[in-house]
């Protein structure tokens, strides 16, 4: 199937997995908005891609604020035309012991990771439905939304909620030809400050035994956002080196 250029928004795209997704899409000829809370960081990420002749725009967004999200989508449509793809990547990955976790911490993580995704999805899906050409929504979840992890009550709950939101949206938006899927990354090296190898507690539970690369997550997200993904919706693709499926690794 020949892929047609699309207009896409990637939130939290100034660095890491989000930037890798935005770069993959732009290099494939898509028109891409790098959206981030920090406009300057987003601009710094977008400039090299624009200098390379790619159709990239940097725009600010606070995903937990509906007006900000609506302004982002309106500005994208004004610049690049009807929205085809939304990738919800913006999120907070933070830990706190459950017994010591404050309500402020809980609300900050949930508001960004889950409520922010809901607002972005709803605003984008309304525009896609009104335009009538369907679309693709890709949520960046986590394998922390599939099973528990120490210190991750808020983060894990937000990602588990995002997985269920993905499934529910897939059912309700199918009539508008909007496909909704999620990629659930496992341990991924997103900064140079991370060690060369995963921590033993991680590596010993992961068959592939290494960090994932942001570019490897981007390949999955790109497929889920593309026309080649035509009969898959409500699916959660765990790009995690086998972390989610691993049971007993010894013996």
203 inside domain = no
155 is catalytic: yes
Domain-located, residue 247: no
Distance from C-alpha of 104 to C-alpha of 197, rounded to nearest angstrom: 33
Would you state the pLDDT for residue 81? 95
Can you give the pLDDT of all 251 residues of the chain as single tens digits?
A: 456 789 999 999 999 999 999 999 999 999 999 999 999 999 999 999 999 999 999 999 999 999 999 999 999 999 999 999 999 999 998 889 999 999 999 999 999 999 999 999 999 999 999 999 999 999 999 988 888 888 899 999 999 999 999 999 999 999 999 999 999 999 999 998 899 999 888 888 889 999 999 999 999 999 999 999 999 999 999 999 998 888 666 65
How far apart, in whole angstroms, are the C-alpha atoms of residue 184 and residue 181? 10
- The number of folded domains in the chain is 1
Q: Give a yes or no: residue 168 inside a domain.
A: yes
Residue 202 counted as domain residue: no
Q: Number of H helices and number of E strands within the chain? A: 8, 7
Sequence-ordered list of residues with C-beta below 8 angstroms from that of 193, at least 6 positions apart, any chain: none
Are the C-beta atoms of residues 42 and 59 closer than 8 Å to each other? yes
- Does a structural domain hold residue 25? yes
Question: b/e for 9-28, b at 16 or more Cβ within 10 A?
Answer: bbbbbbbbbbbbbbbbbbeb
Q: Regarding beta strands 31-36 and 56-60, do their DSSP bridges make them parallel or antiparallel, or are they unpaired?
A: parallel
Beta bridge partners of 60: 36
CB-CB neighbours of 60 under 10 Å: 17
Adjacency order of strands within the sheet including 135-140: 56-60, 31-36, 7-11, 85-88, 135-140, 178-185, 236-239
CATH number (domain holding residue 37): 3.40.50.720
Decide if 59 is inside a domain.
yes
- Domain of 27 in residue numbering reads as 7-187+214-239
Contact 242, 208 (CB under 8 A): yes
Identify whether 134 is part of a domain.
yes
Catalytic residue among 118, 155, 211, 237: 155
Q: Is residue 114 part of a domain?
A: yes
DSSP state string for 3-51: PPP-EEEEET-SSHHHHHHHHHHHHTT-EEEEEES-HHHHHHHHHHHHH
User: pTM, whole model, 2 decimals?
Assistant: 0.95
């Amino acid at each position: 199937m020949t892929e047609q250029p699309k207009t896409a928004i990637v939130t939290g795209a100034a660095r890491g997995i989000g930037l890798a997704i935005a770069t993959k899409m732009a290099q494939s000829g898509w028109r891409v908005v790098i959206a981030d809370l920090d406009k300057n960081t987003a601009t710094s990420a977008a400039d090299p891609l624009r200098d390379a002749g790619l159709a990239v725009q940097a725009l600010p967004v606070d995903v937990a604020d509906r007006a900000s999200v609506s302004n982002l989508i309106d500005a994208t449509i004004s610049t690049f035309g009807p929205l085809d793809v939304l990738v919800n990547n913006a999120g907070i990955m933070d830990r706190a012991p459950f017994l010591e976790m404050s309500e402020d911490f809980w609300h900050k993580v949930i508001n960004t990771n889950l409520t922010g995704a809901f607002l972005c999805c709803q605003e984008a899906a309304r525009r896609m439905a009104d335009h009538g050409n369907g679309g693709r929504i890709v949520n960046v979840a986590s394998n922390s939304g599939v099973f528990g992890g120490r210190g991750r009550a808020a983060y894990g709950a937000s990602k588990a909620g995002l997985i269920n939101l993905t499934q529910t949206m897939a059912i309700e938006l199918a009539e508008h030809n909007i496909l909704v899927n999620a990629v659930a990354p496992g341990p991924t090296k997103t900064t140079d400050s991370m060690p060369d190898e995963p921590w033993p507690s991680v590596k010993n539970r992961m068959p592939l035994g290494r960090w994932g690369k942001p570019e490897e997550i981007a390949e999955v997200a790109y497929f889920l956002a593309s026309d080649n993904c035509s009969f898959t919706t409500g699916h959660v693709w765990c790009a995690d080196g086998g972390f989610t499926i691993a049971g007993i690794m010894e013996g």
